[in-house]
Amino acid sequence: MLRLRRQLSAVLGISLLAVGAARAQSLLPTRSNYTSERHEEAVSTCAQITDTLPPLDIANDDKIRLTADKVDLQQDGLSKMLGSVKVRQADKEISADQLDYDDVEKRIIINNESLYRSKDFVIDSQRAQFDLDDQTGLFSDNSFTLMTRVARGQAKELQVNGDKTAALRQASYTSCAPGDDSWYLEASQIKLDYDAGLGTATNARLRFLGVPIFYSPWLQFPIDDRRRSGLLYPVIADTDKTGLDYRQPLYLNLAGNYDATFTPRYMSKRGLQLGLAGRYLFEQSEGDLGYQYLDNDQVTGEKRDYVYLNHQGLLSDRLALDINYANVSDPAYFEDLGGNHIDLSSISFLDRSARLTYQSPGSYSIQGLVQDYQKIDSNITSIEQPYRRLPQILANAQTRNGFLYTRAGISGEYSNFARADSVEGQRFDIDPYLRLERDTISWFSKAQLDYRYTGYELTNTATGQSNSPDRALPMFSAEYGLRFERLLADGTPQLLEPRLFYLYVPYRNQDDLPVFDAGEPDFDFTQLFARNRFSGLDRISDANELTLALTGRQIDPESGAVKASMAIGQLYRFETPRVTLPDEEAPRQGATDFIGEFEYNLSQDWGARLMTQWSPAESEFTRTGFALRYRDDHHRLLEASYRYRRDLLEQTDLILMTPVYKAISAAARWRYSIRDSETLDTYVGLRYDTCCWAIDLAARRYISDSRGTFNTGIYAQLELKGLGQIGSGFPNLRVDDDVY
């Protein structure tokens, strides 16, 4: 920890050399911008700097308007104005008890206290001169407030220019509220450029809690919220795998719709890593790309790098292109060096794909996909890796109009699957169907009849296995539901919807078909209505089964939001399915487990969710998930969850964020495996937050790789609001929505 404190002091000087990009991360050209809730509240609190002043009247012309209790006319157009004097011109106003006005030169001279207001400044000065023609003024012995952001200061002299700039001499600057000088910037000269949105200081000294912590002959700071090139906030941590970890991003605002960030990263155990990331946003496309390079890992002695590209866009009104590509030098890259998100340490594969989609709404669609993977989980054998699709072509078409609520359609697929040391080949699938749909206020019905044919052309098959197996079978499904609605005594709408779903698929022996992309997903509520209990097309289960389900909702009559919802269902198999995946047991004939989902918003702050699977044959719960959430307007957050899957896991997850005392708040997370009697993730953090500055201190111990290796980190962040921040603060702690 001592080493971290020393590094914080050294880094602060570096981080403030060009903090003009301090807000760039939250204003990058993306579809959505994210802001800090606590910072916005602090800004609102600090806004009291100018809230005491009445609104500024803005005229639509440049006429000079003068009011005073008494006017003493002098020679040569000089007038002495006395008592409650106001001079207004366009968006500017000067107030004083007494001033001299030169009508010939259009100049104001004030030798007593005055108040100047514009859309950029509020200046309280002891002496002032202002030229109404060229809009320049000199204010002496003053205090000022910037209107473009919550900031204030003092200056021996402040020169306001007509070109939307201002020059200050012997000045101080802070974003703290009046009476709070926790931090402030002193400078012999400061220049404010409103067109550029920048302040430039020379011979600058930064004081924090009265102690000078930094000096620079020159630095810049933001005076509005625009993006601009410069140093972003450094990130500092200390972890077992990287040692002292310091990142200093340099943001490059290349244009309004694309940018780049260059990030040198020093790790005391690993060495110096360089990273470059870019983002772009055009009218019909967006994406991001990046490259990280470590020339010599001091632990492994190897060169290590990571490159990625993500692109989504439209080539025309109907043609879309998605590209995802990633590559790392070695499988342990994320486990050793981490990434922008902690979850990167637990992924098994990096996706490499290009998808081209043509859509004719309401008629047909065609999709082409080329997909590859890079394995980064060393525990996965080559035979367990996904197949590459080189390529896959999907097509769907449906008649535009129906006859007696019935429409005809067809779907098709061509896929070429490749994987080393495995059966490879091509798969052809075609599925013509008739679909009936009827939907009314009180009931709905659906039915579909298919005849699906799937054929293969295989290589690398085992001796005696056909190179051209195929399968053809019909499928039929029907669904019927009712809708009931009533009003409770308090006017709350309550909806109830019983549903009946039947599926019939005859048996076809499919043991000679390969398994390219087939799998069996988790048995959840949506699977009760699935037309195939397998994913993919290599296996289509025979079925003669009926699903009974009941869903309900309770609506808040004032907001229209769902106050409570429930769903419960069960599937009954009239026959035992005979189609299985290799080494898989077929499900039993008869009733399956009950699946239930319940969600209830007890109030605006409290909410609970329960998902469960109960086996009537064994009279026990085979899977359970429960989550309780509390969140209020006072920044108190509680999220607790419990997960249980028989013979697999039993875990709890607890998150707490709460104010402790005045400006002090705390955050903590504890994930615990009951089955293994082991803590999986522990996080504890403290935050001291004012409208002027904030500091975070945190420690975390968590599993960082698939082998169960623990990593311990210490994180710290100091933020001088309106100027810059250093380090890594509270992470985005949250229980997953899917507690199952």
Length of the chain: 740
What is the Cα–Cα distance from 174 to 153, expressed in whole angstroms? 6
Q: What is the mean pLDDT of residues 481-492?
A: 90
Q: What is the mean pLDDT of residues 438-453?
A: 95
What is the Cα–Cα distance from 146 to 679, expressed in whole angstroms? 50
Q: Which residues pair with 428 in a beta bridge?
A: 414, 455
- Contact between 101 and 72 under an 8 Å Cβ cutoff? The reply is no
Q: What is the predicted pLDDT for the residue at 20? A: 36
For the stretch 159-218, pLDDT in tens is 998 888 899 999 998 888 888 888 888 999 999 888 888 888 999 898 888 888 888 898
Q: What is the predicted pLDDT for the residue at 44? A: 44
Please give the torsion angle defined by the CA atoms of residues 493, 440, 500 and 524, in that order, rounded to the nearest 10 degrees. -60
For the stretch 128-145, pLDDT in tens is 999 888 889 999 999 988
Q: Minimal CA–CA distance to 500: which of 433, 436, 448, 545?
A: 545
Residue 503 neighbours by CB under 8 Å, 6+ apart: 475, 476, 477, 531, 543, 544, 545, 547
- Contact between 313 and 287 under an 8 Å Cβ cutoff? The reply is yes
Question: Does position 273 have pLDDT exceeding 80, yes or no?
Answer: yes
Q: What percent of the chain has pLDDT over 70?
A: 88
Q: Which uninterrupted H or E stretch holds 158?
A: strand 151-160
Q: Cβ atoms within 10 A of the Cβ of 477, count?
A: 19
Question: Does position 616 have pLDDT exceeding 50, yes or no?
Answer: yes
pLDDT band at 55 (very low <50, low <70, confident <90, very high): low
Q: Please, is 526 exposed, middle or buried when counting C-beta atoms within 10 Å of its C-beta (0-12, 13-18, 19+)?
A: exposed
Q: What is the mean pLDDT of residues 704-714?
A: 74
- Contact between 729 and 717 under an 8 Å Cβ cutoff? The reply is yes
Highest mean pLDDT among 53-57, 441-445, 725-729: 441-445
Question: Does position 6 have pLDDT exceeding 60, yes or no?
Answer: no
Q: What is the predicted pLDDT for the residue at 19? A: 39
What is the Cα–Cα distance from 26 to 251, expressed in whole angstroms? 12
Residue 698 neighbours by CB under 8 Å, 6+ apart: 667, 683, 684, 685, 686, 714, 715, 716, 729, 730, 731
What is the Cα–Cα distance from 540 to 510, expressed in whole angstroms? 8
Q: What is the mean pLDDT of residues 437-462?
A: 95
Q: What is the predicted pLDDT for the residue at 32? A: 27
pLDDT band at 17 (very low <50, low <70, confident <90, very high): very low
Question: Does position 342 have pLDDT exceeding 80, yes or no?
Answer: no
pLDDT band at 718 (very low <50, low <70, confident <90, very high): confident
Please give the torsion angle defined by the CA atoms of residues 586, 591, 592 and 595, in that order, rounded to the nearest 10 degrees. 160
Question: Does position 336 have pLDDT exceeding 80, yes or no?
Answer: yes
Which phi and psi (to 5°) does residue 4 adopt? Answer: -65, -40
418 to each of 208, 390, 454, 534, 539, how far by Cα in Å? 62, 7, 18, 21, 18
Average pLDDT for the chain: 85
- Region of poorest pLDDT, from 220-234, 518-532, 595-609: 220-234
Q: Where are the domains of the chain?
A: 30-226, 622-740
Q: Is the dihedral of CA 200, 204, 207, 208 positive or negative?
A: positive
DSSP reduced 3-state for 721: coil
Q: What is the mean pLDDT of residues 693-708?
A: 80
Q: What is the mean pLDDT of residues 703-729?
A: 73
Q: Please, is 22 exposed, middle or buried when counting C-beta atoms within 10 Å of its C-beta (0-12, 13-18, 19+)?
A: buried
Q: Minimal CA–CA distance to 452: which of 366, 577, 363, 537?
A: 537
DSSP reduced 3-state for 677: coil
For the stretch 543-597, pLDDT in tens is 999 999 999 999 988 888 888 999 999 999 999 999 999 888 889 899 999 999 9
DSSP reduced 3-state for 12: helix
Q: What is the predicted pLDDT for the residue at 537? A: 94
547 to each of 66, 503, 590, how far by Cα in Å? 83, 9, 11
pLDDT: which is higher, 7 or 565: 565
CA 586 and chain centroid, separation: 42
DSSP code string of 201-255: EEEEEEEETTEEEEEEEEEEEESSS---SEE---EEEEETTTEEEEE--EEEEEE
**Tokens representing 320?**
């879309």
Q: What is the predicted pLDDT for the residue at 170? A: 93
pLDDT band at 3 (very low <50, low <70, confident <90, very high): very low
Q: What is the predicted pLDDT for the residue at 8? A: 35
- 156 backbone φψ class: left, alpha, beta (φ>0; ψ -120 to 50): alpha
For the stretch 85-126, pLDDT in tens is 998 888 888 999 999 888 888 888 999 999 999 888 899 999
Question: Does position 236 have pLDDT exceeding 90, yes or no?
Answer: no
Q: Cβ atoms within 10 A of the Cβ of 281, count?
A: 17
pLDDT band at 1 (very low <50, low <70, confident <90, very high): very low
CA 534 and chain centroid, separation: 33
Q: What is the predicted pLDDT for the residue at 728? A: 55
Q: Which residues pair with 672 in a beta bridge?
A: 652, 679
Q: What is the mean pLDDT of residues 718-734?
A: 64
pLDDT band at 705 (very low <50, low <70, confident <90, very high): low
Question: Does position 80 have pLDDT exceeding 90, yes or no?
Answer: no
pLDDT: which is higher, 379 or 30: 379
Q: What is the predicted pLDDT for the residue at 425? A: 96
Q: What is the predicted pLDDT for the residue at 196? A: 81
| CATH fold of the domain at 30-226 | lipopolysaccharide transport protein A fold (2.60.450)
Please give the torsion angle defined by the CA atoms of residues 159, 160, 163 and 169, in that order, rounded to the nearest 10 degrees. 30
Question: Does position 14 have pLDDT exceeding 50, yes or no?
Answer: no
Encoded amino acid at 501, one letter: F
pLDDT: which is higher, 738 or 15: 738
**Tokens representing 388?**
């590459």
